[in-house]
């Protein structure tokens, strides 16, 4: 029973006399033709289940005639209970409506009239038309369209494998699946229920265990969902057609043997016939979800994958001047990740990353490296890499950057002329206050310095004036470090790592702060920003195109009403951040954006990491700063916040070394 039937029945049940069709249509917000079709559709159900019938009389209208008082009363109780339960399903805002509409289309193989759909969710046609535009946009991610037929309405059109990917995305969640789909596909078979889903999981687990085939936890869950969807669709006589032709490449693989075994079990349990094309599709899913691991005797990496990893790490080194080629953990994990990923790309399998937005926000540098990796993969295999795939790649780069950051330490020589005791006191104080900066520390006498390989160290800390030249910098300190000594040491130990607050000050300048942007689309805003920047500082001719190329890879909205557009490659002659404030928020891709931070980063420099880390962590993702800018959108607001940030970082450092 849908909501319109409940409304119709309640109106008729409340009437003591005939109600004219035009009055009934007005109350239900539908047309006379729709009313006639509804009554024709509901007639049998009302007579069999409700103990009554709908009587029509020319020039009078409609009335309910009760035939069985007991059945009628029981039906009214069930109706009211279902209406109460359904209140929680009625979409309230646009996001809920879009989600509902996509599910509605996926649940109906026949055409859907928009007037009927508008009535179903209690919105006007104009509101629904706006929602339909967004629905089309989201369906395009799955390469699906809404096909239109005059007089009939709309229905989802596309390849069966893409429809199934969309069903998995919009109906199935975490450890469960959505019963709405099961209830609305009108399958007259009691096997398609939670017990069937549990049975599929058991079949899958036992089968892959028998073949010693490993899946990730998420891969196991997703494949279980795919198998349940496949059973549902096969029962509806809708099949995967893309893999009908035999493929020697697939037939000889372990995944194909597992798929045949699974298909045989499901044939028997669900009383269906799974065709060869479906079996091959199961094998392809197995190839895309396998959890590859290194074995002590055999490393499961082919040469093509290793060459791809080499190309990715080289591209990152050349783009960001960050050398990750020596990170064996990253190399091996990337190689293992890429093999099933390349299978997914080859067969156009969609993957969903539930952490993608958090990864973009919390690991922006790693995500940009993933974008760089995606560019290399596209160049090698002529396949675009989705936003969600990039998110999973970014996790590997985030771990690599953590390891790299912990390795940036300075090696120090300590020279003390007062004997071993005072040398150890100085060593203790240096280590306790600068442990985060120190690598190897050597304590020695002054006369031994010429014999030491000084090139292996970064600085000498000495309590005496050295009577000879050294090959590395020397800092003269007291036995008991005072604040001046600490300041000098800190400055030298962090050489090459510009103070974060100072760097932010240098990036943000008043001439690059633009108020009252009027663009209504992402493209218009980016073009407007480029025009305003060009009036102050020359931009390369390709700048706008490179920014749009980066947006095409993955939208640069980061939440909090912020977007951070930037070119796909580093092309500027200096580093700065242009800030734009829109008069009215716009829809960037999925989110509303009010503030635009356009990142302009100097080519052939290592400042990209600092821009992403400091700008995002200190400003863009700081809600306090964003709220101030929204209330008072001027450069003075930003400048005041940067000054406060500078003082805060300075105090934090002093507290950390004088604790």
The string of pLDDT tens digits covering residues 410-455 is 788 888 765 555 566 677 777 766 676 678 888 888 888 888 888 8
Closest alpha carbon to 563 in 576, 550, 574: 550
Q: Kindly report the pTM of this predicted structure.
A: 0.64
How confident is the prediction for the chain on average, in pLDDT? 81
Pick 327 or 526 by higher pLDDT: 526
DSSP 8-state class, residue 572: B
Contacts of residue 256, defined as CB under 8 A and 6 or more positions apart, other chains included, come to: 250, 279, 280, 283
Which two three-digit tokens encode residue 627? 């709220």
C-alpha pair distances (Å), 212 with each of 71, 174, 206, 294 = 57, 25, 10, 14
Which two three-digit tokens encode residue 458? 């970064």
Same domain, 578 and 641: yes
Q: Per mean pLDDT, which range of 136-150, 391-405, 461-475, 637-651 is the poorest? A: 637-651
Among candidate residues 466, 493, 520, the one where a domain is terminated: 493
Using H for helix, E for strand and C for coil, what is the string for 296-322? CCCCCCCHHHHHHHHHHHHHHHHHHCC
The Cα–Cα gap between 191 and 195 comes to 7
Q: How does pLDDT run across 585-607, given as a tens digit for each residue?
A: 998 988 889 999 999 988 877 66
Q: How does pLDDT run across 246-303, given as a tens digit for each residue?
A: 556 777 889 999 999 999 999 999 999 999 999 999 998 898 877 655 443 334 567 7
pLDDT, average across residues 386-407: 86
b/e sequence 547-574, b meaning 16+ C-beta within 10 Å: bbebbebbbbbbbbbbbbbbbbebbbee
Position 170 in a domain:
no
Contact by Cβ (8 Å): 267, 276: no
Residue with tokens 């091996």: 332
Determine the pLDDT at residue 195: 79
Domain count across the chain: 6
Nearest 5°: CA angle at 357, between 351 and 361? 140
Among candidate residues 493, 517, 545, the one where a domain is terminated: 493
b/e sequence 604-640, b meaning 16+ C-beta within 10 Å: ebebbbbbbbbbbebbbbeeebbeebeeebebebbee
Same domain, 630 and 538: yes
Q: Which SS3 state, helix, strand or coil, does residue 461 take?
A: strand
Position 165 in a domain:
no
Position 163 in a domain:
no
Determine the pLDDT at residue 513: 94
Pick 130 or 421 by higher pLDDT: 130
The Cα–Cα gap between 348 and 61 comes to 55
Which two three-digit tokens encode residue 411? 């090696």
Which two three-digit tokens encode residue 10? 């309640």
Q: How does pLDDT run across 159-177, given as a tens digit for each residue?
A: 999 999 888 888 775 333 3
Same domain, 508 and 632: yes
Position 403 in a domain:
no
Determine the pLDDT at residue 653: 44
Contact by Cβ (8 Å): 18, 94: no
Containing 598, the helix (H) or strand (E) segment is strand 592-600
Position 218 in a domain:
yes
- HSE-CB at 443 with a 13 A cutoff on CA atoms is 15
Position 659 in a domain:
no
CATH number for 193: 1.10.1790.10
Q: How confident is the model at residue 2 (pLDDT cuts 50, 70, 90)?
A: low
Position 172 in a domain:
no
Contact by Cβ (8 Å): 374, 338: no
Q: How confident is the model at residue 397 (pLDDT cuts 50, 70, 90)?
A: very high
Nearest 5°: CA angle at 401, between 342 and 575? 100
Same domain, 513 and 649: yes
Same domain, 15 and 34: yes
Among candidate residues 255, 289, 323, the one where a domain is terminated: 289
For the cut 50, the answer to whether the pLDDT of residue 140 exceeds it is: yes
Nearest 5°: CA angle at 144, between 143 and 146? 150
- HSE-CB at 499 with a 13 A cutoff on CA atoms is 18
Q: How confident is the model at residue 390 (pLDDT cuts 50, 70, 90)?
A: very high
Q: Which SS3 state, helix, strand or coil, does residue 138 take?
A: helix
Same domain, 469 and 508: no
Q: How confident is the model at residue 659 (pLDDT cuts 50, 70, 90)?
A: very low
Total Cβ atoms within 10 A of residue 461: 25
Position 164 in a domain:
no
Pick 32 or 245 by higher pLDDT: 32
Same domain, 507 and 650: yes
Same domain, 512 and 631: yes
Same domain, 471 and 558: no
Q: How confident is the model at residue 189 (pLDDT cuts 50, 70, 90)?
A: very low
Contact by Cβ (8 Å): 373, 316: yes
DSSP strand E in 67-225: where?
145-149, 153-157, 172-173, 176-177
CATH number for 459: 3.40.50.2300
For the cut 70, the answer to whether the pLDDT of residue 209 exceeds it is: yes
Q: How does pLDDT run across 554-564, given as a tens digit for each residue?
A: 889 887 788 99
Q: How confident is the model at residue 158 (pLDDT cuts 50, 70, 90)?
A: very high
DSSP 8-state class, residue 1: -
Determine the pLDDT at residue 458: 83
For the cut 70, the answer to whether the pLDDT of residue 83 exceeds it is: no
Determine the pLDDT at residue 568: 87
- HSE-CB at 211 with a 13 A cutoff on CA atoms is 20
Q: Which domain holds residue 47?
A: 3-86
The Cα–Cα gap between 444 and 123 comes to 82
Same domain, 283 and 311: no
Same domain, 605 and 471: no
CATH number for 573: 3.40.930.10
Same domain, 482 and 504: no
Contacts of residue 340, defined as CB under 8 A and 6 or more positions apart, other chains included, come to: 287, 288, 289, 290, 292
């Amino acid at each position: 029973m849908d909501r319109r039937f409940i409304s119709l029945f309640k109106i008729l049940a409340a009437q003591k006399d005939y109600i004219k069709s035009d009055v009934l249509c007005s109350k239900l917000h539908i047309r006379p033709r729709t009313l006639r079709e509804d009554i024709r559709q509901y007639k049998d159900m009302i007579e069999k289940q409700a103990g009554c019938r709908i009587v029509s009389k020319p020039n009078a209208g409609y009335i309910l005639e009760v035939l069985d008082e007991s059945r009628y009363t029981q039906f009214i109780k069930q109706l009211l209970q279902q209406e109460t339960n359904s209140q929680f399903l009625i979409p309230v805002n646009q996001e809920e409506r879009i989600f509902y509409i996509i599910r509605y289309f996926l649940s109906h193989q026949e055409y859907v009239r928009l007037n009927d759909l508008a009535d179903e969710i209690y919105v006007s046609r104009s509101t629904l038309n706006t929602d339909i535009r967004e629905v089309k946009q989201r369906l395009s991610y799955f390469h699906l369209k809404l096909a239109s037929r005059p007089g009939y309405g709309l229905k989802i059109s596309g390849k069966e494998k893409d429809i199934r990917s969309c069903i998995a995305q919009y109906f199935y969640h975490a450890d469960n699946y959505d019963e709405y789909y099961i209830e609305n596909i009108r399958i007259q078979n009691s096997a398609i229920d939670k017990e069937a889903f549990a049975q599929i999981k058991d079949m899958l687990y036992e089968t892959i265990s028998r073949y010693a085939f490993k899946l990730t936890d998420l891969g196991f869950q997703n494949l279980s969902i795919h198998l349940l969807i496949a059973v549902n669709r096969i029962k509806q006589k809708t099949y995967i057609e893309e893999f009908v032709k035999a493929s020697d490449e697939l037939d000889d693989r372990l995944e194909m043997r597992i798929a045949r075994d699974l298909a045989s079990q499901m044939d028997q349990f669900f009383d269906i016939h799974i065709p060869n094309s479906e079996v091959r599709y199961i094998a392809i899913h197995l190839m895309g979800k396998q959890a590859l691991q290194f074995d002590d005797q055999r490393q499961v990496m082919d040469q093509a994958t290793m060459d791809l990893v080499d190309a990715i790490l080289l591209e990152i080194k050349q783009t960001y001047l960050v050398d990750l080629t020596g990170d064996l953990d990253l190399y091996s994990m990337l190689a293992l990740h890429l093999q099933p990923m390349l299978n997914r790309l080859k067969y156009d399998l969609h993957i969903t990353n539930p952490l993608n937005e958090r990864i973009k926000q919390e690991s922006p540098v790693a995500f940009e490296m993933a974008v760089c990796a995606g560019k290399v993969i596209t160049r090698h295999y002529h396949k675009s890499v989705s936003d969600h795939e990039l998110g999973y790649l970014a996790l590997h780069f985030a771990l690599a950057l953590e390891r790299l950051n912990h390795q940036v330490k300075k090696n120090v020589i300590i020279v003390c002329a007062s004997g071993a005791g005072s040398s150890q006191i100085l060593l203790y104080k240096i280590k306790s206050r600068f442990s985060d900066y120190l690598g190897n520390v050597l304590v020695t006498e002054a006369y031994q310095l010429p014999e030491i390989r000084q090139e292996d160290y970064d600085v000498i800390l000495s309590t005496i004036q050295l009577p000879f030249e050294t090959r590395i910098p020397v800092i003269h300190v007291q036995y008991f470090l005072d604040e001046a000594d600490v300041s000098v040491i800190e400055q030298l130990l962090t050489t090459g790592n510009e103070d974060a607050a100072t760097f932010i000050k240098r990036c943000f300048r008043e001439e690059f702060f633009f108020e009252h942007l009027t663009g209504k689309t992402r493209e218009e805003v980016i073009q407007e920003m480029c025009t305003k920047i060009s009036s102050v500082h020359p931009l390369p001719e390709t700048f706008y195109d490179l920014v749009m190329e980066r947006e095409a890879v993955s939208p640069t909205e980061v939440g909090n009403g912020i977007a951070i557009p930037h070119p796909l490659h580093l092309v500027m002659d200096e580093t700065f951040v242009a800030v734009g404030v829109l008069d009215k928020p716009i829809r960037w891709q999925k989110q509303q954006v009010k503030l635009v931070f356009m990142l302009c980063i100097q080519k052939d420099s290592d400042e990209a990491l600092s821009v992403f880390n400091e700008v995002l962590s200190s400003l863009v993702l700081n809600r306090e700063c964003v709220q101030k800018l929204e209330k008072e959108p001027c450069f003075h607001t930003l400048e005041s916040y940067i000054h406060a940030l500078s003082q805060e970082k300075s105090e934090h450092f002093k507290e950390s070394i004088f604790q």
